[in-house]
Amino acid sequence: MVYLLAASLLWAFSFGLIKGQLAGLDPVTVSCGRLVLAGVAFVPFVLRSSLRRSVVVPALGLGMLQFGLMYVLYIYSYRWLPAWMVALFTIFTPLYVVLFSDWLDRRFRARHLLCALMAVAGAGVVVATAMPAGADWKGIVLLQGANLCFAVGQVLFVRLKRRAEGQEAGLLGWMYLGAALLTLVAVVVRMAGGIQPLEGWHGGAWWTLLYLGLLPTALGFYLWNKGAARVGAAVLAAANNLKVPLAVLVSWLVFGEEAAYGRVLIGLVVIVGALYLARPRDKVLKM
């Protein structure tokens, strides 16, 4: 759980930074830059790993899904939503996690669904307001695609990690490289179509990209997937929404955005309640 909380805190700062420094830039290029930096940071772990091809190939594909496609959809959504709403409309990820996990296991676990619904309700308390000026349903649809990619990736990582013989850092390194490859191809395709990927970039954007690539991306997703492999599906699902109230609080305190902070506190209490309900009976996965 400590790993999941640490990752959530890292991600809480990224929403406002993306909106303030990167929102007007090409989203595929931004995604590519973050993932290339993460991949480079984990190259030493890849070189030291001895993973079999039967693990490396799925890891590349999983990285393309959980990180590559997810990031492209996620950053595109900033064109239609303010930063705090991007944080809020990730609230359905817990449902995707438990439903996909139960589908793979061919069983229905009512307590897992209840914990996920509580986590969604907790975040929903915060988002229960009218759409602000400048928000668009296109952004919400894109976010749901990103949420689904991330949820499926988390569940599949837990299963793939069991075949990695404890080499988590190497496994994540291959996933980052797969994601970077996907976004690099996407950038090349866009360039062939006449898009200028570096148009509009400035000093602040480059520094922001460096920070996002090395901390929320490389370190954040490493911590998150590491934590995901050590808790049950119910805890994992509920923890997905911790970043929602945390990100809104950061948006107010650091980036000066406005939202109903009373609702955030109520929502945080409900999400913590979901974690409390999920944790006692969940079987913690061993290393």
Total number of domains constituting the chain? 1
pLDDT-derived band at 84 (thresholds 50, 70, 90) equals: low
Task: Answer yes or no: is 204 within a domain.
Answer: yes
The model's confidence at residue 133, banded by pLDDT at 50, 70 and 90, is low
Q: With contact defined as beta carbons under 8 Å apart, do 151 and 38 qualify?
A: no
pLDDT digits (tens, 9 = 90+) for 4-51: 888 888 887 776 677 677 777 888 888 899 999 999 999 999 998 888
Q: Are 173 and 50 in contact (CB under 8 A)?
A: no
Residue 40 class from Cβ within 10 Å (0-12 exposed, 13-18 middle, 19+ buried)?
A: middle
Of 76-85, 151-160, 278-287, least confident by mean pLDDT is 278-287
Is 285 a member of any domain? no
Quote the pLDDT of residue 186.
85
The confidence score (pLDDT) of residue 2 equals 85
Residue 287 belongs to a domain? no
Reported as type and span, the H/E element at residue 152 is helix 137-161
What is the C-alpha to C-alpha distance for residues 271 and 287, in angstroms, rounded to an integer? 26
Q: Would you say residue 284 lies in a domain?
A: no
Q: 283 — alpha (psi -120 to 50), left (phi > 0) or beta?
A: beta
Phi, psi of 190 (to 5 degrees): -65, -35
The tens digit of pLDDT for each residue in 185-236 reads 988 888 887 878 788 888 888 998 999 999 988 998 889 888 888 888 888 8
Q: Over the chain, what is the mean pLDDT? A: 81
Please report where in the chains the tokens 């975040």 appear, as a residue: 123
Sign of the dihedral through C-alpha 251, 253, 255, 257: positive
Q: Does 230 reside within a domain?
A: yes
Q: Measuring CA to CA, how many Å separate 130 from each of 80, 85, 141, 187, 260? A: 15, 11, 17, 36, 12
C-alpha span between 81 and 154 (Å, rounded) = 25
Would residue 283 count as lying in a domain? no
Q: Is residue 177 part of a domain?
A: yes
In a domain, 225, yes or no: yes
Mean of pLDDT values over 237-246: 78
Domain extent, residue 61, equals 2-278
Give the CA-trace dihedral at 1, 57, 101, 158, to 10 degrees.
Answer: -20
Q: With 0.85 as the threshold, say if the pTM is over it.
A: no
Label residue 283 by pLDDT band (50, 70, 90): very low
Least confident of 105-114, 167-176, 244-253, 262-271: 244-253
